[in-house]
A = this chain, B = another copy of it.
């Protein structure tokens, strides 16, 4: 195979949706969407002008690449139903080893875009790091070429590194998002609009683009300002969950800057 042109996508969730649309926008042909829930398959297929099915025996075997983009809990069920012989197949998961695909094809790899996705808002892939791994130099090269049609940020990342990357992404993105959610809960309880925090959130994330994380951090725990820390814990006393999180993170910030 000279290059990947025709693609089957297995899955129709947030990542599958963003990926399918980005691939189509990069002039790749999405030939088929395969998904357990037929209505979701149909919806995504309509967006990328593909056929669709929920029957694994009806998979189009004429494509150049099969992308499995389903949740980690679903992947083993999907693999049991897939028989792709020598077809190139990749998964898109952060924490799953490359070798899991060994049983279903002789050509396999990983195509893991490091970003937070939602179905409702389609993002461009231009700067998104796409982490690539493959079972052979040839397959790696095919996947790198494919990635470069979508993004200028292609990274060769092995399975061990990818797991580490995925955990760090959970901290940096998912847990930050949860901190925004907690802030919103605390404000809502007191009839204050979340809008007032938006410039602060924007600036906090911008700061990290040019500063070391240890230099970007401010606030009472960073200053070891025990009077503020105690006052905050006292104000949170009606919410033991928030208090526990506040206490643990503050303790670790103080430890990081004052006891190491």
| A positions within 8 Å CB-CB of B | 14, 71-73, 94-95, 114-118, 120-121, 123, 127-129, 153, 155, 160-161, 163-184, 186-187, 190, 192, 194, 196-223, 225-228, 231-232, 235-236, 241, 244-246, 248-249, 252-253, 255-256
Contact = CB atoms under 8 A, between A and B. Distances in A.
A123 B203 CA distance: 9
A154 to B, nearest CB: 11
Nearest to A169: B200
Contact of A232 (B114, B155, B170, B226): B170
Given A72-B227, A200-B172, A232 B183 contact: no
Contacts of A14: 218
A209 B213 contact: no
Contacts of A221: 170, 174, 178
B167 A95 contact: no
Q: Secondary structure at chain A's binding surface: helix, strand, loop or mixed?
A: helix
Given A177-B208, A181-B214, A186 B164 contact: yes
Given A116-B207, A153-B199, A205-B205, A244 B248 contact: yes
Copies held by the complex: 2
Contacts of A236: 167
29 contacts: A94-B228, A114-B196, A116-B219, A121-B210, A128-B199, A129-B196, A164-B190, A165-B192, A169-B197, A169-B200, A170-B220, A171-B182, A171-B183, A171-B186, A172-B179, A172-B180, A173-B203, A174-B217, A174-B222, A176-B176, A176-B179, A177-B208, A178-B249, A180-B213, A181-B256, A184-B213, A202-B206, A205-B205, A241-B252
A13 to B, nearest CB: 9
Given A164-B192, A245-B249, A180 B208 contact: yes
A14 B215 CA distance: 12
Contacts of A71: 223, 225
A172 B171 CA distance: 14
A177 B257 CA distance: 14
Given A174-B220, A176-B205, A177-B218, 19 more contacts: A114-B196, A116-B207, A116-B219, A118-B207, A118-B211, A118-B215, A121-B207, A163-B231, A167-B232, A171-B182, A172-B197, A172-B201, A173-B197, A173-B204, A174-B218, A174-B253, A175-B249, A176-B179, A204-B205
